[in-house]
Structure 1
Amino acid sequence: MKNVLSLLALTVAIAALALTLFAPAPNAVGTRDDAAIKALSLEAIIENPDIIAEAIAILRERQAAEQEQFLAASLESDPNAPVLGNTGGDITVVEFFDYNCTYCKAAMPIVQELLESDDDVRLVYREWPILGEGSIFAARAALASRAQGRYEEMHWALMALPRADEASVMSVARELNLDIGKLLADMNDPAIDAHINLSHQLAERLEFSGTPSFVVGDTRIPGLVPLRQLELIIDDERNNDG
């Protein structure tokens, strides 16, 4: 039934697009007989079935363009995502990560060195907790710490933990002298759910299967990447933009 409904919806969309694309123009006085237009359009489709193929191709092109626009805007300009480094930098690096990911922990000094050596890098973090409840709790706590202006400190401290779970995360929060009551309350902010949900959607669209994963301009990097390789990719993207 689901497949039938999907096919029906697609057929309706294609028909509507075909009518829009291939309908006759308005008459000289600017009026149109909609029934006549539909009849002529259907007749044209019957006589030239290739119209359907053209409509499908156009529809797919539009969907692909909309998807790319969505990806670019969400990846680089989401106001609900933490940004480190130079907020006005000329190149944006997006990292998807999990606080309990061994390879993400190995990427931490690489990212830190990149930020220290390149003053024009804008680093956008996508909290993508995929390794259990401890990861989810850590991600929510880190995002909640933004309300106290402490995300960067919280992020590095959580990434340095051998294992992130509720006890270890709250211990870090106390060591950083965060307002614990506020932190716990802010962890229930719907904006945090929105961030995590969008991270899952973006990762799926980008076809990432694990953490860490990076995006630099049009380049997608699944997995841990050495600093020098990351720098070369950044240089290439800068040159392409120039």
Structure 2
Amino acid sequence: MRVVTAVAFLGGAVVALGGAVGATWLTTPAPEPTPPALTEADVRGIVQAYLAEKPDLVIDAIRAFQAREEQLEAEKRNESIAAMWDEIGGIETDPVIGNPQGDVTLVEFFDYRCGYCKRMTPEINALIEEDPKVRIVMKEFPILGPESIIASRVALAAKMQDRYAQVHDALMNHRGELDAEAIYAIAEGEGLDMEKLRADMQHPDVDATLRRNMELADALNIRGTPAFITRNGITPGAVSRSTLRDMLASARKGNS
């Protein structure tokens, strides 16, 4: 009798437990289905749709990227300037205008056939007039064709007759085609000994100066003219006299 009762009790318990589990299963919501993974095409579509809705984000990202690249390039240039300043700032064979013993140095890379360089010539001369302590190193950088090379060789040869500044200004102030005939006519008009000039144009110092300037420009990533350099950095292109003044002021502050 006790065995039957125990079996009946266990059977009832199992039924009750099964009912409870069944009731729980019936009242618990089914799990959400796992969404399919996004494909690369899905992601592209989402991004494209978002950028189409907010195009300014693209412009801002490009500008930020360019700013970072320019900053990195400027830092790299400044490191190069610091490492090579003795060569950049002028050695004995480099022409110098202004005050050779000046307290601050401005370096200009230029080409005689460059219109922007011609535009800067009166600004440079005015700067020399107003700042008697500026020393300007002239880096002949003839990149605009064979006539530019002839002009640079003539100017460097004129330096050997102590007529560099006069010939430089005359070449820069020439209007019209600056071909070989015009270049030699300018040199003759400045009273140079033409036989000596033609010989000096092939002087090893002239070759070395032009080669060194090309190497420096490559190291500093200078691709056009004019380009102005102080110890503090490079400023490319034709700039205002006030910009040149600011460059000199900053360089002087750095020298102090």
Structure-1-length-normalised TM-score: 0.71
Q: Deviations over 1:199-230 (max 9, x none)?
A: 11111111111000010122211111110011
1:148 to 161, 165, 169: 161
Partner of 1:100, secondary structure, is coil
Distance of aligned partners of 1:66 and 1:190 in 2 relative to their CA distance in 1, 3 Å threshold: farther
Equivalence for 2:203: 189
Is the CA contact (8 Å cut-off) linking 2:94 and 2:139 kept in structure 1?
yes
Partner of 2:113, secondary structure, is coil
1:75 to 88, 105, 124: 88
Q: Structure 2 matches for 1:32-181, cutoff 5 A?
A: 71-162=84-175, 163-181=177-195
Partner Cα distance (1:217, 1:126) in 2: 15
Equivalence for 2:246: 232
Is the CA contact (8 Å cut-off) linking 2:106 and 2:136 kept in structure 1?
yes
Partner Cα distance (2:108, 2:250) in 1: 18
Partner Cα distance (1:140, 1:230) in 2: 27
Supply the AA of the counterpart residue of 1:99.
Y
Cα shift at 1:123: 0.5
Number of residue pairs aligned between Structure 1 and Structure 2 = 179
Partner Cα distance (1:172, 1:109) in 2: 18
Supply the AA of the counterpart residue of 1:221.
T
Is the CA contact (8 Å cut-off) linking 2:157 and 2:197 kept in structure 1?
yes
1:214 to 209, 225, 228: 228
Partner of 2:160, secondary structure, is helix
Partner Cα distance (2:87, 2:202) in 1: 22
Distance of aligned partners of 1:241 and 1:189 in 2 relative to their CA distance in 1, 3 Å threshold: same
Structure-2-length-normalised TM-score: 0.67
Cα shift at 1:70: 5.2
Partner of 2:89, secondary structure, is helix
Gaps of 5+ in 2: 1-76
Is the CA contact (8 Å cut-off) linking 2:142 and 2:148 kept in structure 1?
yes
Partner Cα distance (2:121, 2:161) in 1: 23
Partner of 1:84, secondary structure, is strand
Partner Cα distance (1:211, 1:94) in 2: 12
Is the CA contact (8 Å cut-off) linking 1:104 and 1:212 kept in structure 2?
yes
Bigger CA drift: 163-172 or 97-106? 163-172
2:219 to 202, 205, 223: 205
Distance of aligned partners of 1:183 and 1:218 in 2 relative to their CA distance in 1, 3 Å threshold: same
Runs of 4+ deviating beyond 6 Å: none
Partner of 1:77, secondary structure, is coil
Q: Deviations over 1:109-129 (max 9, x none)?
A: 110111000011000000000
Partner Cα distance (1:68, 1:119) in 2: 25
Cα shift at 1:73: 1.0
Partner Cα distance (2:180, 2:240) in 1: 31
Give the structure with higher Rg (CA): 2
Partner of 2:85, secondary structure, is helix
Cα shift at 1:75: 1.0
Is the CA contact (8 Å cut-off) linking 1:158 and 1:169 kept in structure 2?
yes
Is the CA contact (8 Å cut-off) linking 2:81 and 2:231 kept in structure 1?
no
Partner Cα distance (1:218, 1:233) in 2: 8
